[in-house]
Amino acid sequence: MIRHLRILSLCVPLALAACVSNQSAPEFGDKMDIKRASQDNVTLAIEYLKQGDRNTAMAKVQKAIEQDPSNANAYTAEALIYNADGEQDKARDAFKTAMRKSPDDPEVQNDYATFLCQTGKPKDSLDYFLKAANNAHYSTPDSAYSNAGLCALLIPDPALAEQYFRKALTLNPRLPEPMAQLAQMAYSQKKYLTARAFIERYNELVPSSRPDVLLLGVNNERALGNQQGAADYAKQLLRLYPASQQAQELDQAVPRG
């Protein structure tokens, strides 16, 4: 099944990518320099966190907060460090502080939603993903809807997940993840032609595909009675991902239902 969590645009340590907002009010003189220095320390903290040096990362974050207590990005970075240390309560408090400092920042909303989803509260995450998606200043609302769909699957609420995935594709018809998920849903519902269409669209966008999608292609083409198509997907899976779990499962792959 393609139901593993593959949330887009995550922050470290969830995906080791700096998620800091660029939103800031214009400042002048020394105040601007202090704000810039605070943000520079946040950037350094993220880099140290990527390298696994959480102590230095936290020191940089604390310096950033000291320089500019209003810097929401600093509290978000602090939350990520706490989360990496397994201190989820402290991470949650830091995220909430970030949202108090910048209540309309969609990046902070998306990051907190991701945290909630990945720490066992997928239902609670949806409101924050939707706030981010509906924020006019957010550059990737399609990803927020896709993330919401992935978390809805964990509730589980497949109907709601499908709604979010389709909304994501309405906003961005070239977003691969919703295609993969909708292909799995269509296959599970025995809508094999619909599943085929989504799989083909996904593979057009991601030429190297990924093993779960290729195995789904095998199963779906077998369900359609297209043995040659199934064999083609199987060959691609074995060529690209010979050591994958899906390659090991290939001999047992049979149509569902």
| pTM of the entire predicted model | 0.83
Give the chain's residues under pLDDT 70: 1-30, 251-257
DSSP state of 11: P
DSSP reduced 3-state for 133? helix
Q: Does domain 174-257 have CATH number 1.25.40.10?
A: yes
Q: What angle do CA 254, 204, 149 make, to 5 degrees?
A: 70
Residue in 39, 17, 46, 12 with CA at minimum distance from that of residue 115: 12
DSSP reduced 3-state for 35? helix
pLDDT at 23: 46
pLDDT at 186: 98
**DSSP string for 72-121:** HHHHHHHHHHHHHTT-HHHHHHHHHHHHHHSTT-HHHHHHHHHHHHHTT-
Tracing tokens 């402290």 back to the chain, one arrives at 90
Average pLDDT over all residues of the chain? 89
Tell the CATH superfamily of the 1-157 domain.
Tetratricopeptide repeat domain (1.25.40.10)
CATH 1.25.40.10 in the chain, residue ranges: 1-157, 174-257
